[in-house]
Amino acid sequence: MDARTIALDARHGDVLLVVIRGEHDIYTAPKLRDQLDEALGQRPVGLVADLSGSTFLDSSILGALLEARRQALESGVNFVVNLGEEPEAGVQRILEITGLVPVFPVVRSAGEALESARAAPADA
């Protein structure tokens, strides 16, 4: 199995990235929730969930991401999911068949993610 990591990347000024690599499911969902909570607690302008290096995500992870999105909207933080330019097929598929691509919203590159995390008005 690919290394399962969840890390905070704070090198982008007022935008925080939570970088999710490898396979994630109910076992690591609590860690992801904690990491997303911590990032939101820092009141960034924007929060990016970076899935570009993730190889498997289940509905526990979608639940954690949706909860972070809800909290971000409430507190006026821009929230965006970066799927990367070459996403793992299964990760892309779960986002597509659940119709969540426009909901999160999902973008396809780090640049685009930073841009919309900085610029987008946090609409509800």
Partner 1 sequence: MDAPVVRLDLPARPEGVGVVRQALVGVADGLALDGTVLSDAKMAVTEACTNAVVHAYEPGHDGRLEVDMFADDAALTVVVRDAGIGMQPREDGQDTHAPTAALGLGLPLIAALSDEFEVRGGPGDGTEVSMAFNYERAADPAAENPITGGPGPSGRWTLDEPDPAG
Q: Which residues bind partner 1 (CB under 8 A)?
A: 1, 4, 23, 25-27, 56, 58-60, 62-64, 66-67, 70, 89-90, 93-94, 97-100, 103
C-alpha 38 chain-centroid distance: 13
Residue 3 phi, psi dihedral angles, 5° rounding: -55, 135
Q: Are 34 and 66 in contact (CB under 8 A)?
A: no
Question: Shortest Cβ distance from residue 94 to partner 1 (Å)?
Answer: 6
Is the CB of residue 67 less than 8 Å from the CB of residue 30? no
Q: Measure the CA–CA gap between 51 and 62, rounded to whole angstroms.
A: 11
Closest distance of CB 1 from partner 1, Å: 5
Distance in Å, CB of 13 to partner 1, minimum: 29
From the CB of 83, what's the least distance to partner 1, in Å?
15
Nearer to partner 1, 10 or 26 (CB): 26
| Minimum CB distance to partner 1 smaller for 66 or for 120 | 66
The nearer residue to partner 1, 23 or 114, going by C-beta atoms, is 23
